[in-house]
């Protein structure tokens, strides 16, 4: 079957909320009760409001929340790691590490197909991992042990053997999870996988097929008849792009969208309008990051951190301790490797002033970038500016599009930004965080480099004894805290608001990054 190319129409001015002509608007006023669902209201559609366009729709290099959300709808990994660390097989029937720790054998489920009806085989897995391991493609870090890539070979149509260049506890944990498999028969002639969109845009093995993408407006998906799992219970899925948080809230209240993230201060109003609200943990670290290529002196960076009050910032941004937990290291507090035996940078104005004096710096001014449409980051930025102002440090605020923050901060010393607000979710194994903090790593937005940190990452990845690994990663967290490139703020809960006509949220399973593990398990009441 020949797969049609999707038309990706570009719009000059993105529309915050475009409604299809067939869209039925709820008749309730803002703040009123949502109408009770009846069988007549079933539309066969589910609409989820997201905050921005995906930065990438290429499974080889995708790393942003909305790109990964779309990828998880269209494609499948061999296996995935649940929030509690449990590994759940997807395309894989079994995953077996060798006794010597130098290989992993994956057997695929029988009868797998792509959305175009072609068979999904071990050759597709080898093709995917081979291209993902190319550093120039943008997201290869976790497929390397030291300077050598992990390799894959197909021994028959359903069996793939991954070979490690040396023993690595991290690789054994990560190798077969969270890499989304792409079809060789469709993309075999692609010579550059560093692009953000493949052509055709999406041929996958997930529960839905991507059928249309209007940049700045929406992505639409239809059920994949060749999906290996249960058939999606709602035939059509739309990710509608709504940049403004207040517009999103109104769309939820009127029924123009079925679900979206909400903020803690919106919960009472949304529940009063009849929506169901689901707070859940992601193992996220919200943070203030410093650009070490511009703020080069560690004493200056430490002085900035000692001038801040983490508790006040978090309370203002996340409203209540019901919705956040203070974070003190690069790992979220829920991570089994996390420690609090680090410099926490509790507010100390005298120490901040002394460090600036030692560094010979006065009248310090720097620029802080943040996602201007994000209410939590806007609050954080304002409080940071206020607190540092009291310490004699001037902060110039730049509220911009989320992707623009990282595009600019990646320029290092040439960036116009000295600091930035962000958040990341990197999973359970601490080696995954090397993508953020190892010298030259693909997501090292801090321009951070310390040979001692690199050596600790090397030791931790190779160590097979769990207790010894924990000690190594405790030392690593303390080292990065001392170097003061990240001021961890909180592991904040995400809050999903859902129209009462939609059921099956528990079955679809709330998970980090992707919102729902499988949108196809949602139902209409």
User: Residue by residue, what is the 3-state secondary structure of 276-337?
Assistant: EEEEECCCCEEEEEECCCCCCCHHHHHHHHHCCCHHHHHHHHHCCHHHEEECCCCCCCCCCC
Domain-ending residue, one of 184, 214, 235: 184
What's the structural domain count of the chain? 3
Q: Is residue 194 part of a domain?
A: no
Verify that 273 and 134 share a domain, yes or no.
Answer: no
Q: What is the pLDDT confidence band of residue 172, given thresholds at 50, 70 and 90?
A: confident
pLDDT of residue 338 exceeding 60, the answer is yes
Is the pLDDT at 20 greater than 70? The verdict is no
Residue range 219-276, pLDDT digits in tens: 999 999 999 999 999 999 999 999 888 899 999 999 999 999 998 989 999 999 999 9
Residues 373 and 228 in one domain: no
Looking at the structure, do residues 488 and 459 belong to the same domain, yes or no?
yes
Same domain, yes or no: 409 and 470: yes
Same domain, 231 and 141: no
Supply the mean pLDDT for the chain: 90
Q: Which domain holds residue 255?
A: 41-75+206-281+494-524
Q: Specify whether 272 is located in the same domain as 295.
A: no
Residue range 97-122, pLDDT digits in tens: 998 889 999 999 999 999 999 999 99
Residue 12 within any structural domain of the chain: no
The answer to whether residue 8 scores a pLDDT higher than 90 is: no
- Residue 128, domain CATH: 3.90.76.10
321 against 328, higher pLDDT: 328
CATH number, domain containing residue 309: 3.10.105.10
Tell me the mean pLDDT in the region 300-309.
Answer: 98
pLDDT of residue 87: 85
pLDDT interval class at 173 (50, 70, 90): confident
CATH at residue 517: 3.40.190.10
Q: Which residue has the tokens 């608001």?
A: 497
Q: Does residue 39 surpass a pLDDT of 70?
A: no
Token digits of residue 394: 């001037």
Q: Which residue has the higher pLDDT, 496 or 144?
A: 496
Q: What is the dihedral of CA 75, 77, 78, 81, to 10 degrees?
A: -150
Lowest mean pLDDT among 127-131, 182-186, 439-443, 482-486: 439-443
* Residues 230 and 264 placed together within one structural domain of the fold: yes
Please say if the pLDDT value at position 16 is more than 70.
Answer: no
φ, ψ (nearest 5 deg) of residue 331? -100, 145
Lowest mean per-residue pLDDT among 1-5, 357-361, 446-450: 1-5
Is residue 28 in a domain? no
Clarify whether residues 323 and 403 are in a common domain.
Answer: yes
pLDDT at 512 over 80: yes
- Residue 33 pLDDT > 80, yes or no? no
| 31 domain residue, yes or no | no
Smallest CA-to-CA distance from 34 within 266, 280, 251, 289 is with 251
Give me the pLDDT at residue 138, please: 86
- How many residues does this entry show for the chain? 525
Identify the weakest region by mean pLDDT among 19-23, 179-183, 402-406.
19-23
Domain co-membership, 145 together with 231: no
Give yes or no for residue 203 having a pLDDT over 90: yes
Question: Is-contact 388 401, C-beta < 8 A?
Answer: no
Whether 136 and 268 share a structural domain? no
The answer to whether residue 396 scores a pLDDT higher than 70 is yes
* Residues 468, 411 within the same domain: yes
Same domain, 498 and 485: no
Q: Is residue 25 domain-resident?
A: no
Phi first, then psi, for residue 482 (nearest 5°) are -65, -35
Its pTM stands at 0.80
């Amino acid at each position: 079957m020949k797969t049609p190319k999707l038309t990706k129409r570009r719009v000059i001015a993105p529309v915050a909320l475009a409604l299809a002509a067939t869209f039925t608007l709820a008749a309730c006023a803002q703040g009123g009760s949502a109408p009770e669902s009846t069988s007549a209201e079933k539309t066969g559609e589910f609409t989820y409001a997201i905050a921005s366009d995906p930065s990438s729709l290429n499974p080889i290099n995708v790393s942003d929340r909305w790109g990964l959300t779309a990828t998880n709808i269209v494609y499948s990994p061999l296996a995935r790691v649940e929030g509690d660390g449990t590994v759940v097989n997807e395309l894989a029937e079994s995953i077996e590490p060798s006794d010597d720790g130098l290989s992993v054998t994956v057997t695929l489920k029988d009868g797998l197909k792509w959305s175009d009806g072609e068979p999904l085989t071990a050759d597709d897995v080898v093709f995917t991992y081979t291209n993902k391991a190319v550093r120039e493609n943008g997201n290869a870090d976790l497929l390397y042990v030291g300077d050598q890539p992990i390799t894959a070979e197909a021994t028959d149509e359903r069996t793939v053997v991954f070979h490690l260049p040396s023993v690595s506890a991290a690789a054994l944990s990560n190798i077969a999870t969270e890499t989304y498999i792409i079809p060789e028969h469709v993309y075999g002639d692609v010579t550059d996988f560093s692009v953000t969109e493949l052509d055709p845009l999406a041929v996958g093995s997930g529960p839905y097929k991507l059928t249309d993408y209007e940049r700045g407006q929406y992505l639409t998906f239809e059920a994949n008849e060749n999906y290996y799992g249960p058939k999606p219970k709602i035939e059509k899925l739309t990710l509608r792009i709504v940049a403004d948080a207040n517009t999103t809230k109104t769309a939820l209240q009127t029924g123009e969208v079925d679900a979206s993230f909400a903020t803690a201060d919106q919960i009472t109003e949304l529940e009063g309008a009849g929506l169901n609200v689901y707070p859940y943990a992601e193992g996220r670290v919200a943070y203030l990051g410093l650009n070490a290529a511009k703020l080069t002196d560690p004493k200056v960076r430490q002085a900035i951190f000692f001038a801040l009050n983490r508790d006040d910032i978090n309370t203002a941004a996340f409203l209540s301790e019901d919705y956040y937990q203070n974070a003190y290291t690069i790992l979220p507090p829920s991570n089994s490797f996390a420690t609090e035996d680090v410099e926490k940078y509790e507010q100390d104005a005298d120490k901040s002033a002394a460090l600036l004096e030692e560094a010979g710096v006065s009248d310090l001014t720097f620029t802080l970038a943040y996602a201007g449409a994000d209410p939590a980051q806007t609050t954080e930025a304002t409080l940071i500016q206020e607190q540092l102002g009291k310490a004699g440090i001037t902060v110039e605020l730049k509220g911009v599009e989320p992707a623009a923050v990282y595009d600019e901060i990646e320029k290092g010393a040439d960036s116009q930004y000295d600091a930035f607000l962000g958040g990341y979710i990197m999973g359970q194994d601490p080696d995954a965080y090397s993508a953020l903090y190892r010298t030259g790593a693909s997501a090292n937005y801090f321009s951070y480099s310390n040979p001692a940190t690199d050596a600790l990452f090397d030791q931790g990845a190779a160590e097979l004894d769990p207790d010894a690994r924990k000690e190594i990663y405790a030392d690593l967290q303390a080292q990065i805290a001392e170097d003061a490139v990240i001021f961890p703020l909180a592991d904040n809960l995400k809050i999903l608001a859902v129209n009462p006509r939609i059921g099956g949220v528990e079955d679809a399973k709330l998970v980090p990054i992707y919102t729902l593990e499988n949108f196809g398990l949602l139902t209409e009441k």
